[in-house]
Amino acid sequence: MNRTILKLAIPNIVSNITIPLLGLVDLFLMGHLGSEIYIGAIALGGVIFNFIYWGFSFLRMGTSGFTAQAFGENNQAESITILVRAILVAIFISLLILILQSPIAWASFKIIGGSSEVETLANEYFRIRVWAAPAALSLFVFSGWFLGMQNARYPMIIAIAVNVVNILLSMFFVFILKMKSEGVALGTAISQYFGLLIAILLFLKRYKFLLFRISKKGILNLKILIEFFRVNSDIFIRTFCIIAVFTFFTSKSASESDTILAVNSLLIQLLLFFSFFIDGFAFAGEALVGKFVGAKQPENLKKVIKLLFYWGTGLAIIFTLLYLPGVNFILKILTSQHEVINAAQPFLFWVILVPAASFASFIWDGIYIGATASKAMRNALIGATFLVFVPVYYLLNPLWGNHSLWLGMILFMLSRGLIQTFIYRQAILKPIL
């Protein structure tokens, strides 16, 4: 079982590590342009796309869980139908985003705030990158579907291709063509379409035979459609809570000052960096839990959950030992601005707490997604957001300032894992016993 977990987890870790590396490269490019407003522009522009793309990440997660269960049932017709159904939904959503891009931009900057200089640059970034929406959402679907089919290698190939092209184009536009935040946005947009082309070619190479199993009746099956949208609506609400927390975090950082916004934008990258490692095992959990739920094998299900937590604990220990002496060194790599580095010093210890506080929440998310236990996962996130994060910030902010944001974030991640631990037998094991 450990070998199977690693076979799925390692390609996903390789895939995921390219994502934070891209974020780090973007911050590196902006961090050496001579002003902190460029870092802030990328941060604010990134928050908007986090809101959009994380909000619709149910296209990946729902597709992964349903496909893994169909795979466990050896139902090829349903497997390909899930892909087509999700692609159609992704295209519809992306067209709405493009049509509504002006009100989306206006509302986003009203909510997030920031200085006028940062907002102007962030708006330029948004107006370019938004045109990648059809490709980005379709890639969510393909990545989730490949993973559900127990194929972690294809998402790895796609992620590496997208992010290598993205980094090279961003460096070209910034260093050679002397563009600024708009160059980073253009590199991102082009690379998304390149990734979609790779995804289609890989699908045709291995799964072309499934196209003959597509049926209009299957796509429009009312019972399945209702379940599809029920699960995905729960995942949407769950993801909205995460988006709300991270958006609130960035918004309140911006309201403090451009310097605090730059500090928090840099430090939060280390939380995201860890998350993409631990998510490798969470994604493995999606595929394997879904397969065992679909095949109705409770003993294998319990075994894989136990092993996933062994791996998650080990990874948390490794990252804690890495961040303990190295967080300040990493910060100095990301920016050469002494004002930002000095302002970050009081907040470095929060980053050291991230791995231990958060690893369980990531592992459980993968397990719940694979089991399509979306309602329980949704309720856990609602509780962590509105009963933990929000009260902690508002009660302690008058005394602790930016420290209250970081304490709220740490407790938010910790409470997610604890809540899902308490309810997992009822939510996941009971339905298949």
Give the pLDDT of residue 252.
85
Q: Which pLDDT does position 387 carry in this prediction?
A: 95
pLDDT at res. 398? 86
Residue recorded with tokens 């989730």: 144
The pLDDT, as a whole number, for residue 35 is 60
- For the chain, the C-alpha Rg in angstroms (whole number) is 21
Task: Report long-range pairs for 90-94 (Cβ below 8 Å, ≥24 apart).
Answer: 90/56, 90/59, 90/134, 90/137, 90/138, 90/140, 90/141, 91/134, 91/137, 91/138, 93/56, 93/59, 93/137, 94/133, 94/134, 94/136, 94/137, 94/138
Q: What is the pLDDT of residue 333?
A: 77
DSSP-derived 3-state class of residue 210: helix
User: d(Cα 154, Cα 142) in Å, to the nearest integer?
Assistant: 9
User: What confidence score (pLDDT) does residue 261 get?
Assistant: 84
For the chain, the domains span: 2-432
Residue 299: which H helix or E strand, with range?
helix 298-334
Please tell me the number of Cα atoms within 13 Å of 224 on its side-chain side: 17
- Amino acid identity for residue 212 in this structure: F
Each residue's pLDDT expressed in tens, for the chain with a length of 433 residues: 788 898 899 998 888 776 656 666 766 776 656 566 777 777 777 777 777 777 788 889 889 999 999 999 888 888 999 999 999 999 999 999 999 988 988 887 777 666 677 777 778 888 888 899 999 999 999 999 999 999 999 999 998 899 889 888 988 988 888 777 788 888 888 999 999 999 999 999 999 999 888 877 777 777 777 888 888 899 989 988 988 898 888 888 887 777 888 888 888 888 888 888 899 999 999 999 999 998 889 899 999 999 999 999 999 999 999 888 877 787 777 777 777 788 888 888 898 999 999 999 999 999 999 998 999 999 999 999 999 999 999 999 888 888 999 999 999 999 999 999 999 988 888 877 6
Nearest 5 degrees, angle CA 197-CA 201-CA 206? 150
Strand ranges for 217-361 from DSSP E: none
Which pLDDT score, from 0 to 100, does residue 254 have?
80
Give residue 198's identity as a one-letter amino acid code: I
Q: What is the pLDDT of residue 146?
A: 96
Residue 167 has a pLDDT of 85
| Amino acid 295: pLDDT | 86
Alpha carbon of residue 308 to chain centroid = 19
* CB contact set of 199 (below 8 Å; sequence gap of 6+): 138, 139, 142, 143, 154, 158
Distance in angstroms (rounded) separating the CA atoms of residues 23 and 169? 14
**Whole-structure pTM value:** 0.82
Give residue 271's pLDDT. Answer: 87
Tokens of 390: 């929000």
Residue with tokens 């169909």: 70
Q: Give residue 37's pLDDT.
A: 72
pLDDT score of 108: 79
In angstroms, the CA 335 to CA 356 distance is 26
pLDDT reported for residue 34: 56
Q: What pLDDT shows up at residue 287?
A: 93
Confidence (pLDDT) at 432: 75
pLDDT at 14: 84
The pLDDT assigned to 346 comes to: 84
Q: State residue 36's pLDDT score.
A: 64
Q: What pLDDT sits at residue 360?
A: 95
- Residue with tokens 């947009």, as numbered in its chain: 189
